[in-house]
Every structure is written in structure tokens, then in C-alpha cells.
Structure 1
Amino acid sequence: MDISGRHEENGEYLMVAAAVHARIDSTRIRSVEGMGFATVREGPTLEATLALVAEAVGDLPEPPEGPVVSERGEFYEEPADVVGLSFQPEFKYVESIGERETVQAAHHAAYAVRDLLL
């Protein structure tokens, strides 16, 4: 998952979260099973970010079988076990190249949707 739009523009916020449900191996994406999106116009706080991501993950066509994965900065460097309390089945930060590629796909999707909404 990835979030675009944590910065204020013209006195407003528009954060877009994209969740990508993908089948991966250690080095690449094998298939994309679906995408989920959510938006919010409030400022970026940990609570708002957790709720936004939970909504995007909930928007996936099917619940993920594996963990929700993100870059550490998405959740303000909070430990994975703290962030993980908000997600099922589990949460972790990026560890493999395949996970990084999936987060990158989510980044492009979130940015594109945000561009469409502005």
C-alpha cells in the first residue's frame, strides 16, 4: 500500500491511499489480483493514516491472504507491531524486492488517482 498527498496544497489536504493485492515472489510481482482506494481531506495524522489505509484495504475485491506491506515512512516510523494492531491478517514493512515492487505499483496508482481528483 501507499499514500499520496500528505502535504497541504492551497490550504487543503487530499490524501489518497492505494492498496494493491498482488501475488509476488522474492524479486517481482507475478500477478495483480485487485486494487482498493480511499481518500480523505483531513490533515495527515497517524490515526487518519491508519483509518485511510484500512479503508483502502477494505476496498480490495477480496481480503488479502498475506500481510499489508508498506514503507516505514507511511506510518511515521512507528514500529510494525503498533501499526499491525489496525490490520488483519497482519502488517509488516517492506523486506523483499517483490514487496518493494508492489509498494511502487501502489505508489503510482495513488498518485494517478490523486491527480484525477485535483
Structure 2
Amino acid sequence: MTDPARIDTDDQRSLDSILAAIPELTSRAGHVRDFATIMRELRGRELERWMAAVDSDDQPALHPFVRGLRGDQDAVTAGLTLPWSSGTVEGHVNRIKMLKRQMFGRAKPDLLCKRILLSN
């Protein structure tokens, strides 16, 4: 994820021209930039304040995202606060599920196990 402070000059120019052409995106871009900062700097404790700001601002495009965050807010806050990540494990689970789907109905568990072990 790119730090908004380190955005490429060409990309910044493009963003500025888009925001100048569509002014209502300026507020939305600010909210997205703030959320990116919360994610990048693990400031999960600021999540509630950010969600309240989005709710108070008229940004209907972001409201479904905020509702989704509120649906499991404790887990989201922990994920945006703690330094640990389950991304590697999730990647392996995804790979194993793909192999299982490829072999659906064609192999017994022993062959599937061998294929999983040999697919590294």
C-alpha cells in the first residue's frame, strides 16, 4: 500500500485533475486516505472515530463499507492494531482449496494429500 505522502508526481497530478473535475470526490478521497493511514500505521483505536466521520459526512458510497466494518468491529480493530497477520496461513488454505476443487471426484484423500505436500 502506497503511503499517500510518497505518491508519484504523475499519479498526484492525475489525482488532482480528477478531484478538480469531480469535487464531491475530494471528501471521499480524504476518508480513504485516512483509512489507509489507519491500516498502514496500525491505528485501530482510531477506527471508531473514522467511522463516525464517514457517517456524519454524506458519503453513501462508503456507508456499506462502514456497515461491514461494524459487523465485526472487534476483529477489525484487532487486525488494525496488532502486528500479527494470518495472511500467510490464509494463502495456504486458499491454495489447498484450489487443489481440492481441481481434483473433485477424481481422487481419494491419500492422492490429494500427496498432491498438497508436493505442490510447494
TM-score (norm 1): 0.26
Which structure has more RCO (C-alpha within 8 Å, separation ≥ 6)?
A: 1
Whichever structure has more strand as a proportion of its residues is 1
Largest Rg, 1 or 2: 2
Q: Which structure shows the higher helix fraction? A: 2
- Length-normalised TM-score, structure 2: 0.26
